[in-house]
Amino acid sequence: MEIKHAKLKKWVHEMAHLCKPDRIVWCDGSYEEKAALEKEAVSTGELIKLNQSKLPGCVYHRTAVNDVARTENLTYICTSKKIDAGPTNNWMTPKEGYRKAGEFFFGAMRGRTMYVVPFSMGPVGSPFSKIGVELTDSIYVVLNMRIMTRTGKEVLEKLGRDGEFTKCLHSKADLDINRRLILHFPEDNAIWSVGSGYGGNVLLGKKCLALRIASYLAKKEDWMAEHMLIMGVEDPQGHVSYIAAAFPSACGKTNLAMLIPPKGLKKKGYRIWTVGDDIAWMRVDSDGSLWAVNPEYGFFGVAPGTNSKTNPNAMATIKSNTIFTNVLLKKDGTVWWEGGDPPVPKEGLDWMGRPWKPGGEKGAHPNARFTAPITQCPSISNRLEHHHGVPISAIIFGGKRSSLAPLVYESFNWQHGVYVGATMASERTAAQFGKLGEVRRDPMAMLPFCGYNMADYFKHWLKMGKKMARTPKIFHVNWFRLDEKGRFLWPGFGENLRVLEWIIERCRNKADAHRTPIGYVPKLDGLDLTGLNLKKKDLKELFAVRPSEWMEDLADQKKFFELFGEKLPKEIWQEYHALKGRLK
């Protein structure tokens, strides 16, 4: 391949000088290349080929035992000034970052190949899209990037002789947690990740570029990079409304994005179209509305809990051409995980490669993943490749709250909606470090992903609202409210469409609501509950707004907002005090 981009060539050679690989291979994205890489990875044991008649094109991978999730404590924003990273990010100066990680990168690719992977986040050539080039010594990473992004020759052509790109350097090095760093250099448009092989740390197009670096670029360039799914809800008249929704990690974004309408609503004629399950890049288009694209091209989904009931579309998507990581490997060369489709296998090899039988330890790691091409999803939207994306009617924020937040409420306006997003919080699950059930504030589900000071991020949200001729309406949902016995009040999954139906009707000024201190809540008969056996008492509890509980939450919000000092936009405090006033 002839490389016309002089700066790119120079950077690749500088990084090779640092990492000292035996070879450099420029990836062209061809099918032949994929076959050859797979073959090599199978020969070294990095990948295991799965049963090709049952799971055609699928392979299996195990990460190192201490390398199974994103390491937020080793993730840094490296800016010249600490204030630019803000109080919620780990921070280093760029100089210190390059020096520290440089030591781990030095000679780390000896005996290995350095792959050069050009990739586009977003459809190649769309005004939304950004190009990155990842250098990596991991075939697993190359094969995952081929699914998660658009890669190869076409991207290099688009980059031309002097196009802008994010410089992404990755090495597994020795997979030592004490020599692991995930560093972002927004001022240099660069990412350095060393010492890990776990997706969220090493597929640098995803969290690192498409959220941390992109959020920084988006602020500079007046657009938005958000931790949001994008879905289209087609109503019985064939009108499709698009929704972008932010939830903290492991709160069911992938399931919601691929929802299958429950019987009652399917009869009415509803259909769901999936645009994306994790990241939305949004711009104000020439019509003054907010438009969104999914910058990714695949799903990197959590396997445990995924089955033909909770997410039939995901199950159909992962039948072929999928990389399974840290799941249970069955004797017949297929895979399984806790909360997967029955039957529970009688034996297998667990995610660490040890013989496994039911009844003991988990066979799959709770954060085991599938990497699958988005185009294989049965509910994929026909606007996936459209260079302007889809127009957004509603933005939804959500968290896991066992009390406090009602099933759904609507903000009074954009500024109040930004406050609702900024006060998002979620209870820690067993998968997270910290006290179980403890509330962690996670504004817009971006706490671990915002590449700059979150106070400036709130300011940016407020500013974007002013740029729009029509702002999407902003809602908050909570699928996780419990009754006094600790049971979920709401059935969730496909039934969530009943809430989405109300949201869409609100966007078209067709549904009634009840004004409460926190926002608009549906009237008791506001949702279509046909076919659902929900007790009136439970429904009331789902919609309940208790001022005393909200006053307690306000105290916690205050502590969080005070972290930002003078930098916090006055509009956020305005909304805070206005809510306090309404609660009294």
* Residue ranges in contact with ligand OXD by CB under 6 A: 70, 200, 249, 278, 300
Q: What residue 200 binds from Mn ion, ligand OXD, none (CB within 5 to 8 A, per partner kind)?
A: ligand OXD
Smallest CA-to-CA distance from 506 within 417, 388, 381 is with: 417
Instruction: Work out how close the CB of 31 gets to Mn ion at its nearest, in angstroms, rounded to a whole number.
Output: 29
Query: How far apart are CB 557 and ligand OXD at their closest, in Å?
Result: 23
Prior bond to 304 cis, omega within 30? no
- Give 261 or 451: the residue with its C-beta nearer to ligand OXD: 451
Tell me whether residue 251 is one of the annotated catalytic residues. Answer: yes
| Least distance between Mn ion and beta carbon 38 (Å) | 27
Region 221-260 residues binding Mn ion, contact defined as CB under 5 A: 249
Minimum CB separation of residue 471 from ligand OXD in Å reads: 26
Cβ-based neighbours of 247, under 8 Å, separated by 6 or more = 229, 253, 256, 397, 398, 399, 426, 445
Q: Binding residue per annotation — 538?
A: no
Q: Which does 461 bind (CB under 5 to 8 A by kind): ligand OXD, Mn ion, none?
A: none
For residue 200, say whether it is annotated as part of any ligand binding site.
yes
Q: Is 514 labeled as ligand-binding?
A: no
Query: Residue 184 binds what, of Mn ion, ligand OXD, none (CB under 5 to 8 Å, by partner type)?
Result: none
Give the dihedral of Cα atoms 189, 192, 197, 198; nearest 10 deg.
-50
Give 213-265 as a DSSP string: IHHHHHHHHT-EEESEEEEEEE-TTS-EEEEEEE--TTSSHHHHHT----HHH
The two tokens of residue 28 are 């062209």
How far CA 277 is from CA of 206, 229, 252, 427, in Å, comes to 12, 4, 9, 21
Residue 296 binds Mn ion, judged by CB under 5 A: no
Residue with tokens 């500088």: 14
Region from 2-10, 178-186, 278-286, 459-467 binding Mn ion, contact rule CB under 5 A: 278-286
Residue 398 among known ligand-binding residues: no
Closest distance to Mn ion from the beta carbon of 110 (Å) = 34
> 239: how many CB neighbours lie within 10 A of its CB?
11
Please count the other Cβ atoms lying within 10 Å of the Cβ belonging to residue 287.
12
| Active-site entry in 19, 27, 251, 507 | 251
CB atoms under 10 Å from CB of 141, counted, come to 24
Residues 272, 325: Cα–Cα separation, whole Å: 28
Position closest to ligand OXD via CB: 249
Stretch that binds Mn ion, among 274-282, 371-379, 429-437, 553-561 (CB under 5 A): 274-282
Cα–Cα distance list, 440 to 437, 480, 518, 556, 559 (Å): 9, 15, 20, 10, 12
278 binds Mn ion (CB under 5 A): yes
Q: Which one, 396 or 518, has the nearer CB to ligand OXD?
A: 396
* Number of chain residues interacting with Mn ion (CB under 5 A): 2
Distance (Å, whole) CA 448 – CA 211: 9
**496 annotated ligand-binding residue:** yes
Query: Residues annotated in the binding site for GTP, as ranges?
Result: 250-255, 369, 493-496
Could you give the residue numbers annotated as active site? 251
Question: Which chain residues interact with Mn ion by CB under 5 A?
Answer: 249, 278
Query: Residues annotated in the binding site, as ranges?
Result: 70, 198-200, 207, 227, 249-255, 278, 367-369, 493-496
